[in-house]
């Protein structure tokens, strides 16, 4: 409705402007008419966006909501293909290669290990000194495991402070095996590759999986395994124009942040439409030029049984991978826990600052259904827990977008500290750690 309203107003104003020009008015009148046209167009777009969002959002806040805090924070003007490294089994990981590597983008605050994660190098095997825990998941889990002030992450500090490492070991050590835009089955594949090196594995996820179910499984008839990010596909099959198109889209996004473009809602809408056209053009070119594409590989052929039945089918696929991951870790002699990550839609009274940075998505009911399905695995002996209500008594601003906590450059984060305190207690309980005196 808001798009149609703004389009109608712009068409009406354009028609009026053309009538003024056609009337043979003086140069001054035409200049004044053009100035008024720009003002009224800007007002109409601003009103349409206000009606859509239910509140006033600046251009900067709209850009943040478009890409999410994680992408806005880590892109730094580079495309995903420049920022990430293609992995033969995991899809994509981090790297330190100039100029777009993790170490370069963060001015040395963070760097990728040999395996491609923001973490100390993974151990070659379990050892008698450290009780090693591999944390995996998407961007929430990745950021949660960032080093704090170049020291250990919050979870490692909390575990070390509260519990005695089991099996006679000397200390806890937490390793980061999470990656932005990951979703199952990438975590399960990571477990296949590395779980034998660790004493325990924790998967903190759910947000990316649910949105693949809602946007891909339900709306586009794509299988649950469809990847959010595939670095090779667009660049290998999208033709010579793929990279320039994606760089052009990124340039528009970065330009929109700067004066004077950052002050115009009309320019924001126009630039956003051009960005979308660039992305769609790359995708369509790969599908038109090739009989085989990601969509053909991951297309669903099953009949549509209705929205609720299809949602349940998608959730059952997620649960299937959790069970498989649990079996892989246990089969390698380790311990496993599945954690539902927190999200801004559930369990917290949001501050005004938080509400202005969030997308308008009505997914609460589906998120709770996913949480229920995962927690139901406890009846099958799988250790599961949820963080959806971890911030219910927190009055401070925690979220910078739907799924990520506010994070300082040095790794400090009130949200991550609260999550670490809660998660350490949960892991201590479900894994039977002895508390320190």
Which residues pair with residue 204 across a beta bridge?
137, 339
Among 6, 38, 3, 68, CA closest to 260: 38
Which run of H or E residues covers position 136? strand 130-137
Contacts of 59-65 with C-beta under 8 Å, sequence gap 24+, read 59/256, 59/261, 59/262, 59/263, 59/264, 59/265, 59/268, 60/257, 60/262, 61/356, 61/357, 62/265, 62/268, 63/253, 63/256, 63/257, 63/268, 64/357, 64/400, 64/401, 65/357, 65/358, 65/359, 65/401
What pLDDT score does 1 carry? 45
Among 412, 42, 22, 10, CA closest to 260: 42
Q: DSSP letters along 168-181, please?
A: T-SEEEEEE---TT
Instruction: Please indicate whether residue 237 or residue 409 has the higher confidence score (pLDDT).
Output: 409
pTM of the model: 0.81
Which run of H or E residues covers position 384? strand 384-386
Asked if residue 113 lies in contact with residue 122, where contact means CB atoms within 8 angstroms, the answer is: yes
Burial of 16 (0-12, 13-18, 19+ CB in 10 A): middle
- Rounded to whole angstroms, how far apart are CA atoms 141 and 404? 9
pLDDT band at residue 144 under the 50/70/90 scheme: very high
Please say if the pLDDT value at position 63 is more than 80: no
pLDDT band at residue 271 under the 50/70/90 scheme: confident
* β-pairing verdict for 384-386 and 200-205: unpaired
The CA-atom distances, in angstroms, between 376 and each of 319, 331, 363 are 10, 22, 20
Tokens of 301: 């052929």
Among 146, 201, 166, CA closest to 339: 201
pLDDT tens-digit readout, 147-190: 998 899 999 999 999 999 999 999 999 999 999 989 999 999 99
Helix ranges (H only) for 332-383 are: 352-355, 364-375
pLDDT band at residue 39 under the 50/70/90 scheme: confident
Tokens of 144: 């949660």
Tokens of 80: 């995903």
Tokens of 57: 């959002």
Please say if the pLDDT value at position 415 is more than 80: yes
Among 71, 110, 73, CA closest to 410: 110
- Three-state DSSP at 429 gives helix
Please say if the pLDDT value at position 240 is more than 70: no
Give the torsion sign (CA, 193, 195, 197, 198).
Answer: positive
Please say if the pLDDT value at position 392 is more than 70: yes
Among 125, 143, 136, CA closest to 90: 136
Among 110, 44, 47, CA closest to 76: 110
Please say if the pLDDT value at position 412 is more than 90: yes
Topology, domain 117-214+300-435: Rossmann fold (3.40.50)
Per the prediction, the chain carries an average pLDDT of 84
- Give mean pLDDT, residues 46-59: 77
- Give mean pLDDT, residues 314-343: 97
């Amino acid at each position: 409705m808001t798009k149609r309203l703004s389009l109608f107003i712009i068409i009406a104003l354009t028609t009026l402007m053309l009538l003024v020009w056609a009337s043979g008015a003086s140069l001054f009148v035409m200049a004044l008419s053009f100035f008024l046209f720009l003002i009224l167009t800007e007002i109409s777009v601003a009103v349409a966006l206000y009606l859509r969002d239910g509140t006033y959002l600046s251009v900067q806040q709209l850009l943040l909501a478009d890409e999410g805090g994680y992408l806005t924070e880590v892109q730094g003007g580079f495309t995903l293909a420049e920022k990430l490294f293609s992995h033969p089994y995991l899809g994509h990981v981090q790297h330190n290669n100039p100029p777009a590597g993790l170490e370069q983008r963060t001015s040395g605050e963070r760097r990728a290990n040999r395996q491609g994660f923001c973490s100390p190098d993974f151990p070659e095997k379990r050892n008698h000194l450290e009780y090693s825990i591999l944390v995996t998941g998407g961007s929430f889990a990745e950021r949660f495991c960032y080093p704090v002030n170049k020291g250990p992450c919050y979870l490692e500090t909390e575990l070390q402070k509260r519990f005695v490492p089991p099996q006679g070991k000397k200390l806890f050590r937490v390793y980061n095996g999470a990656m932005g835009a990951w979703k199952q089955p990438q975590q399960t594949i990571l477990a296949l590759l590395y779980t034998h090196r660790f004493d325990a594995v924790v998967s903190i996820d759910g947000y990316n999986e649910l949105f693949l179910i809602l946007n891909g499984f339900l709306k586009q008839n794509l299988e649950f395994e469809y990847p959010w990010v595939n670095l090779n596909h667009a660049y290998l099959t999208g033709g010579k124009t793929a990279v320039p198109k994606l760089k052009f889209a990124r340039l528009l996004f970065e330009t929109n942040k700067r004066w004077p473009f950052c002050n115009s809602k009309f320019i924001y809408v126009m630039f956003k439409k051009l960005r979308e056209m660039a992305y769609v053009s790359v995708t369509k070119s790969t599908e038109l030029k090739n009989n085989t594409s990601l969509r053909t590989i991951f297309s669903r052929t099953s009949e549509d049984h209705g929205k609720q039945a299809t949602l349940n089918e998608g959730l059952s696929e997620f649960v299937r991978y959790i069970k498989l991951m649990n079996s892989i870790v246990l089969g390698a002699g380790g311990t496993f826990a599945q954690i539902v990550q927190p999200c801004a839609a559930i369990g917290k009274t949001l501050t005004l600052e938080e509400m202005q940075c969030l997308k308008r998505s009505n997914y609460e009911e589906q998120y709770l259904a996913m949480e229920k399905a995962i927690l139901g695995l406890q009846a099958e002996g799988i250790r599961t827990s949820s963080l959806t209500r971890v911030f219910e008594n927190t009055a401070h601003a925690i979220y910078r977008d739907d799924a990520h906590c506010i994070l300082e450059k040095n790794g400090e984060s009130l949200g991550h500290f609260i999550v670490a305190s809660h998660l350490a207690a949960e892991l201590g309980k479900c894994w039977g750690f002895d508390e320190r005196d």
